[in-house]
Chain A
């Protein structure tokens, strides 16, 4: 399965879940945002294994993406590609943070060895 198909199927599944949840809880307007979050999060998951090393990294990217989504929801509302750009930023930011963590860990280990 290529990444485009995986992402599309996840998006359609997210829409189905939203439909079912809205049937069960019709007053919860926050559920209207579910497909948007799922859509952006699938873009994080489209990353290659060179960038996202394991499933926990996907989880971390998802958390960073959620923060970006909550902040940017009203700013980029209706602009195509806004979700993807947020996802790209989340992936790069998380990748950067992990690399920084690895560098700090290496520095501490080398300091201990001395």
Chain B
């Protein structure tokens, strides 16, 4: 179980997304047809992906700090430029971090910063202040460091981690 913690996190996020997607976005008849199809396709893809099950919890601090910075920068920029362009600009700047820090242990910095960036893309109505964004971006950085070896090479995994941190916040905020 401990070894599969990253995969469990991803599976939970994706099933939450699929259930919300199919329960509210599509008419009932299509939903009945699509639920087995989407779930089967997802499980087949998830099962046939060559998972690397080791958990790498090192380099947590650098991931958390860079994700926090990325999230706050994107959040501050987004009213001026729009969230997508803000994400593009912060991501482009983050991609050069690899050249600034030559040490091999900092090679993941662009990815963790980009991960935090997605939290900063949230609407200001949902995440009201920069402090909340910094905490959630830091949490997404922590998730990134913890689940680094899970679903490696699958596009959108960084977004999934940011989505998890924002959804956790929304669930806690709405129900507690």
Contacts and interface: CB of A to CB of B under 8 A. Distances in A.
Contacts of B50: 50
A97 interface: yes
B111 to A, nearest CB: 6
Contact of A93 (B38, B155, B167): B38
A contact face: mostly helix, strand, loop, or mixed = helix
Interface stretch (A21-29, A78-86, A106-114): A78-86
B87 A93 contact: no
Given A4-B110, A78-B123, A81-B119, A88 B160 contact: yes
Contacts of B26: 71
A84 B160 contact: yes
A9 interface: yes
Contact count band on B: 35 or more
B contact face: mostly helix, strand, loop, or mixed = helix
B57 interface: no
Interface residues of A, number: 54
A22 to B, nearest CB: 12
Interface of B: 10, 13-14, 17-18, 20-21, 24-26, 38, 40-50, 82, 84-85, 87-92, 94-96, 98, 110-111, 113-114, 118-123, 125-127, 140, 151-167, 170
